[in-house]
């Protein structure tokens, strides 16, 4: 299986900036911009999985509110949970 890391990064950047809600576009776009070039291949795969979750559950997870789904205990989820968004 060929694994094109640059293609995955492009997909992640696009998906993080075009979510469906403006708030999540900004939050996930800023998060991805900050970390995209610092992440390992496994972290990038976990980030792609995180981005496949719906906005409501991501918003609730980020803000410490109960979610409808379970979030795994991964480096990416911890980074996202502790990310401080600044305009």
* Number of domains present in the structure of the chain: 1
Query: What's the pLDDT tens digit per position in 3-54?
Result: 699 999 999 999 999 998 999 999 999 999 999 999 999 999 999 999 999 9
72 within domain boundaries: yes
Given pLDDT bands bounded at 50, 70 and 90, which one contains residue 87? confident
Q: Which of 1-5, 22-26, 59-63, 82-86 has the lowest mean pLDDT?
A: 1-5
String of b and e for 6-29 (b: at least 16 CB within 10 Å)?
eebbeebeebbeebeeeebeebbb
Q: Is the pLDDT of residue 81 over 60?
A: yes
CA distance 52 to 38: 20
57 within domain boundaries: yes
41 within domain boundaries: yes
87 within domain boundaries: no
CATH number at residue 22: 1.10.150.250
- SS3 of residue 45 by DSSP: helix
Range of the domain at 45: 5-82
Q: Is the pLDDT of residue 1 over 80?
A: no
């Amino acid at each position: 299986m060929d694994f094109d890391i640059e293609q995955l990064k492009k997909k992640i950047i696009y998906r993080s900036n075009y979510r469906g809600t403006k708030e999540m576009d900004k939050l996930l776009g800023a998060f991805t911009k900050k970390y995209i070039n610092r992440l390992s291949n496994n972290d990038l795969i976990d980030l792609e999985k995180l981005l496949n979750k719906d906005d409501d559950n991501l918003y609730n997870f980020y803000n410490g509110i109960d979610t409808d789904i379970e979030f795994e205990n991964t480096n990416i989820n911890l980074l996202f949970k502790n990310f401080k968004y600044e305009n």
